[in-house]
Amino acid sequence: MPDRDPPPDLEAQRAYADAYYGYAPLVHLRRPLVVIGMPGAETVAVCNALASLTGLPLIDLSRRVEHDAGKSVTHIVLREGERMLRAREAALLMRAVEERPPAIIACGPGAWSKAEIRRALPAQADTLALQRPEGALLQALRAAVARSPGSEPDFMGGQPIELGRLRQLCAEHAPHHATAARRFEAGELHSTRVAEALMVVLGWSPPA
């Protein structure tokens, strides 16, 4: 009679599963990190690179707004108005900072423009404003639209991207960004290089 396989070691199986699926980031955050960037700053790409380098969870606030509303950000702006979009962003941002484990949260300038958010958030999260020159913002926005025609950013209200409106938007939000706990000038660096530099600035890795 052929030998039978030994009974499975259930404890060992659970240990292997925990090791494979368990939450084991290279960096442990005491509080979430909210990264605020203008349209074209590639905030989500930078935060995605940070999450890849550290194993930390990532929350893309715009995608969360769309998931919660069941419609695109542009649709919300065109049908409900920008004020409703900002209200949705603010509410979901305050929920996001309460999630555990603490995450990297990619945030556009809209929610941070609300005074009540700027007052409340520092008690619950670390904040960093990601800054790039106007030329880099414009180039990134136009490249994104070229890749996905019809995807004009919500601040343009479905209109073609133009420097004057972008410059006006930057001027409107500059005082808000100045209140972030940290500010980082990314220049025209690729998002991965920005993430690597941020890890050093944030003390998440030793300098090279």
Domain segments of the chain as ranges: 29-201
pLDDT of amino acid 71: 87
Residues 29-201, CATH architecture: 3-Layer(aba) Sandwich (3.40)
CA atoms within 13 A on the CB side of 98: 6
| Short-list 37, 84, 82, 34, CA closest to 59 | 34
- Beta strand pairing call for 58-60 and 33-37: unpaired
pLDDT value for 97: 95
CA dihedral 66, 195, 140, 163 (to 10 degrees): 90
Nearest-angstrom CA–CA distance, 94 and 91: 5
Query: What is the token pair recorded at 181?
Result: 């706990």
One digit per residue, the tens of pLDDT, for the chain of length 208 reads 444 444 555 554 554 444 445 567 788 899 999 999 998 899 999 999 999 999 999 999 999 999 998 988 878 888 888 888 889 999 999 999 999 999 999 998 888 989 999 999 999 999 999 999 998 998 888 887 777 665 555 555 556 678 888 888 899 999 999 999 999 999 999 999 999 999 999 998 754 4
The span from the CA of 88 to the CA of 90, in Å, is: 6
